Amino acid sequence: MRVMSGTRTSGALHLGHYLGWLSNCLKMQDQYDCYFGVMDWHGMTSAYKSTHEIPNWNRDIFAEMIAWGLDPEKSTMFIQSHVPEHIELFMIFSNLTPMGWLERVTTWKDAQEDAKANDTHNLGRFAYPVLQAADIAIYSGQLVPVGADQVSHLELTREIIRRFNHLYKAKLPEPKPLLTETPAFPGLDGRKMSKSYGNSILLSEESKSLKRKINSMVTDPQRALRENPGNPLVCNVYTYHKLFSSETDQKWTVEGCTTAGIGCGDCKAKLCGNIEQLIEKPREKKKELLNNPKQLDSIILAGCEKARTEASQNLKTIKQYMKLIV
Ligand code: TRP
Ligand code: SF4
């Protein structure tokens, strides 16, 4: 079984990336033959006005992935733009993709106003899912760990591949999404966690700012006074406890909150400690990696070469199916 996945280059990864994507990839690498990409061409669809940031973001994400346990010895890890075969296959797939299919993709259809406001109502963004289909097919990906927001992209990928197989009597595998069980993970303010809302906790958040961010979270307004009991079910801090704290700590929270046995400060301090415990080691490991740029670069280079060998072989097969070459 071939696993293929990636994350779009758009600045530092946050806890939402961990729960929705990275944690799933980590589970895959011991069982399957995995390809994990840092997708900078995808990043460019929104960052085309600040392309100077992209190389640094790529390295940051690459280091983060290793620091959290993705192992370049076990999995093939690469940067998308270093494997130009993606773009060739993207071009081939573009011809097989009717405009109507793309117009129906929810991430395009539902983001019209946003895209116009951000100056991203353009061909690159429109064709985003076609490039994603190429990313997957260039490695014959069969299983694709992604967040729930990516399901419509995977559907399109399957449609394109079916069409390809039909037209050229080919046998490219139809990939399936593999969704994390984690429910939607809200940002600090309760909205979707996103860099553009400034409501995220980074995977490499420093202790001090982690504390500051958690302390800034809004709690149950019933608990205006320390002696007022509250309802954890309406409190985002508790939502976080459910994701990052042990069952014992969750029970402690519910009991303490509903009986006013604990204050919100205690509750947040506990959460903060648990998140710190999760991110502390990878955060330090990432610093180490970034402090040794030569070593990191050679790991990146080796990964990209490995990916490229596989991609160029597959591209050749694809062109043979199309009778472009013999
Ligand atoms: N679109 C994905 C996201 O935003 C990133 C991505 C690009 C990807 N190419 C991919 C994911 C191929 C899986 C497979 O998260
Ligand atoms: Fe929220 Fe915890 Fe305060 Fe209860 S005690 S309102 S769960 S922060």
pLDDT digits 0-9 by tens, 236-258: 999 999 999 999 999 999 999 99
CA of 25 to the centre of ligand 1 (A): 12
Task: Assess contact for 205 and 279: CB atoms under 8 A.
Answer: yes
Whether residue 150 is predicted with pLDDT greater than 70 in this model: the reply is yes
CA distances from 141 to 121, 154, 216, 298 (A): 29, 11, 42, 25
Q: How far is the CA of 20 from the centre of ligand 2 (A)?
A: 25
CATH 3.40.50.620 maps onto the chain at 2-186+292-321
> How far are the Cα atoms of 62, 110, 249 from residue 98, in angstroms, in the given order?
34, 19, 52
Taking the C-alpha atoms of residue 208 and residue 127, their distance in angstroms, rounded to an integer, is 41
Minimum-distance ligand 1 atom for the alpha carbon of 135: 12
Give me the pLDDT at residue 149, please.
Answer: 87
Residue ID of nearest Cα to ligand 2 atom 3: 264
Least confident of 6-20, 266-280, 309-323: 6-20
pLDDT at 273: 98
pLDDT reported for residue 192: 84
- Write down the H helix ranges in the chain: 15-17, 23-28, 40-47, 54-67, 85-95, 99-104, 106-109, 112-117, 123-126, 128-137, 151-168, 207-215, 236-244, 247-258, 264-291, 293-321
| Radius of gyration of the chain, Cα coordinates, nearest whole angstrom | 22
Q: CA distances (Å), 133 to each of 21, 137, 167, 277, in order?
A: 18, 6, 17, 37
Q: Is the CB of 267 under 6 A from ligand 2?
A: yes
Residue 271 in contact with ligand 2 by CB distance below 6 A: no
pTM of the model: 0.95
Q: Is the CB of 143 under 6 A from ligand 1?
A: no
Q: Which CATH superfamily is domain 2-186+292-321 in?
A: HUPs (3.40.50.620)
CA dihedral 192, 195, 201, 206 (to 10 degrees): -170
pLDDT at 279 over 80: yes
129 CA → ligand 1 middle, Å: 9
- Give the mean pLDDT of the chain: 96
Residues 198, 107, 59, 194: what is their CA dihedral angle, to the nearest 10 degrees?
10
What is the number of the ligand closest to the CA of 260?
Answer: 2
How many angstroms separate the alpha carbon of residue 13 from the centre of ligand 2? 27
22: CA distance to ligand 2 center in Å? 28
Cβ atoms of 219 and 238 within 8 Å: the answer is no
Share of the chain above pLDDT 70, in %: 99
Find out whether the beta carbon of 22 lies less than 6 Å from any atom of ligand 1: no
- Least confident stretch, 57-66, 86-95, 108-117: 108-117
Distance between CA 285 and CA 178 in Å, rounded? 28
Q: Is residue 257 within 6 Å of ligand 2 at its C-beta?
A: yes
Cα–Cα dist 14/242, whole Å: 17
Considering the chain, tell me which residue range(s) the CATH 1.10.240.10 domain(s) occupy.
204-286
Candidate from 216, 217, 218, 219 with most ligand 2 atoms within 8 A of CB, to mutate: 219
Whose Cα sits closest to atom 4 in ligand 1? 8
Indicate the angle between helix axes 40-47 and 54-67, nearest 10 degrees. 130
pLDDT at 147: 87
Position 196 scores a pLDDT of 76
CA–centroid distance, 303 to ligand 1, in Å, is 18
Q: What is the pLDDT of residues 103-134, one digit of tens each?
A: 999 999 999 999 999 999 999 999 999 999 99
Pocket residue to mutate for ligand 1, from 2, 4, 5, most atoms within 8 A of Cβ? 5
Is the pLDDT assigned to residue 183 strictly greater than 70? no
Counting atoms of ligand 1 from 1, which one is nearest the CA of 131?
A: 9
pLDDT tens sequence across 192-238:
888 778 899 999 999 999 999 999 999 999 999 999 999 999 999 99
Q: How far is the centre of ligand 2, averaged over its atoms, from the C-alpha of 220 (Å)? A: 6
Residue 198: the pLDDT is 85
Class of CATH domain 204-286: mainly alpha
Ligand 1 atom with the shortest distance to the CA of 42: 7
